[in-house]
Amino acid sequence: MSKPPRIAGRDLRKVLEHKGFVFVRQKGSHMMLRRATAPVITVSIPDHKEIAPGTLRGILRDVGMSVGELNELL
């Protein structure tokens, strides 16, 4: 398993928007993104300078991406 990259919340948002997610709202330091195609997936991303590795892995698992795919898109 490859090591997750150090990535900011806003950079992860751009990657997910490229993958078909749409920004829904932001409350405090968390952004909500949603994919409208089936199955509908809603994910919360912390707007931090660096997302913790475990949090990043959880987000990637929820959206069906691997760390390798994320590295390719960066």
Domains of the chain: 9-73 (3.30.920.30)
Q: Summarize pLDDT for 16-51 with one digit per residue, the tens.
A: 999 999 999 999 999 999 998 888 899 999 999 999
| Mean per-residue pLDDT of the chain | 91
Q: Which of 34, 28, 29 is nearest to 9 (CA)?
A: 29
Give 61's pLDDT tier (boundaries 50, 70, 90): very high
Q: Return d(Cα 65, Cα 41) in angstroms, integer.
A: 13
- Under 8 Å CB-to-CB from 39, ≥6 apart: which residues? none
Tell me: pLDDT of 11 over 80.
yes
Distance CA 30, CA 22 (A): 14
